[in-house]
Amino acid sequence: MKAEDFKGKKILVVGMARSGISATHLMCRLGAEVTINDMKTREEMGDKLEELSDLPIEWRLGEDPDTLTDGKDMVLFTSAVPFWSEWIKRARDNGVPCYNEMEIGAQLSKAPMVAITGSNGKTTTTTLIDEIFRAAGRQSFAVGNIGIPLCNHALEMKEEGVMVVEAAPFQMISAPSFHPRVSMVLNITEDHLNWFKTMENYINQKCLVFKNQRGDDVCILNEDDPISSSLGDRPQCRVLRFSRTKQVEGAVVENDVLTLSYDGKRVPIINIHEIRIPGAHNLENALAAALSTHLMGVAPEVIAQTLRDFAGVEHRIETVGTVDGITYINDSKATNPDSTIKAVQAMRKPTVLILGGSVKNSDYLPMFKAFTPEIERIVVLGATAQAIMDTAERAGFKNVHYCPGTFEEAVALARSVARPGMNVLLSPACASYDMFESYEHRGRTFKRLVKEMENQ
């Protein structure tokens, strides 16, 4: 679709989170007749929609969207709206196209896309790739599941720019024409089974990232991840790989040097000990980022310098501060057990680990089996507390401290059982929605509590 195709069209935007607000702005800018909807009322939304107050839109908040689709030319919905909703099915059956916001942003952008998916590492890798392109002087925006809607920047993208997209299956399943120039599947581990029910479904939805790729497009897979590695026969485009441990066509480690090896050439980038972000998982992220940006024309020296400078992203193994000799680390973005395993493996000091949050039907036993000797104690809270404690008992892990109260009380409990020279690591292995609006809200609350300790 082109920008002019939306003029005068009747568009229903469902879900007034960030992407819904962004889609509303874009549709109004293109001359569409826009109706906005959310199950919450205007009063319940508070001032979150203040920026829409001057737009020529119809407000239908607190209503069932099923009653609003008749007569609409299109429905745009956010990732928070379940894609299997009966009202979406009925609207489609009645001939009303229903898309995730990402579909429209991708269609309207003139720039090629690099798309990143996986169970863990998406945000770090997306941000790193964006930083590399920017360091190379390219127009670049990190968008998608990272929290910045594609619609924010779709119309300003130039053909020589790059849209770096963190792509979640919730978005891709309703973005049928989504077509990146370079895609990657960083890893696939058990996650979101409350949505997808089975691992087979989850894997299939991750594969949507390369569904429309053809010919000279490139799909990058992780040779060190069993599921990602096994997908090589699915893409209908060129496949390259990255590996910390093996020699593959793509990105490898040779004598401690991150090296690109494809098309008969070997391009050394950087000694891996110079890469600023810590941990084996971040070396994998760096391999993927280096390969994808070099494929898009970025010089090796630019990639190397960015890897030296890049300090990581907020809420991912982020050192917040040290109080009374105890170091506090914010890994709130660890919303599944595998992500917590990666944080655990990065610890180099005795650690108190804070676990728990809302339910995603995860199996916590592999996490306990992956505990290093550095994990001395855990503090458990939230809706998943009992499941985590039951798993700890099965795993034979004894030093469990249960907090039946608030998050603030859990952090205070972790502080009380730690000692100077230790870490307190917030890496919950769970989503945040039992107590918080998002993992960012949880992480920032943790950081605020640490700052308050420093000021006491």
Domains of the chain and any CATH numbers: 8-96 (3.40.50.720), 103-309 (3.40.1190.10), 318-455 (3.90.190.20)
Of the candidates 441, 125, 155, the residue with the CA atom closest to the CA atom of residue 290: 125
User: SS3 for 146?
Assistant: coil
pLDDT at 102: 94
Q: Does position 351 have pLDDT exceeding 90, yes or no?
A: yes
Burial 378-410 (b: 16+ CB within 10 A, else e): bbbbbebbebbbebbeeeebeeebbbeeebeeb
Over residues 381-396, the pLDDT tens digits come to 999 999 999 999 999 9
* Residue 355 DSSP SS3: strand
Q: What is the C-alpha to C-alpha distance for residues 232 and 240, in angstroms, rounded to an integer? A: 9
DSSP string, 58-119: EEEETS-GGGT-TT-SEEEE-TTS-TT-HHHHHHHHTT--EEEHHHHHHHH--S-EEEEE-S
Using a pLDDT cut of 70, give the percent of the chain over it: 99
- Give 79's pLDDT tier (boundaries 50, 70, 90): confident
Across the range 308-330, mean pLDDT stands at 94
Q: Give the per-residue SS3 of 267-315.
A: EEEEEHHHCCCCCHHHHHHHHHHHHHHHHCCCCHHHHHHHHHHCCCCCC
Is pLDDT of 196 > 70? no
Residue 337 has pLDDT above 90, yes or no: yes
Paired residues of 38 in beta bridges: 61
Separation in Å, CA 326 to CA 95, 350, 430, 453: 59, 10, 24, 11
- Count the residues in the chain: 456
Please return the burial class of 109, using the count of CB atoms within 10 Å of its CB with bins 0-12, 13-18 and 19+: buried
CB 186 within 8 A of CB 121: yes
Which residue in this structure is represented by tokens 């998406």? 122
pLDDT, tens only, 270-304: 999 999 988 888 999 999 999 999 999 999 999 99
The confidence score (pLDDT) of residue 199 equals 86
User: Euclidean distance between the first and final Cα of the chain, in Å?
Assistant: 57
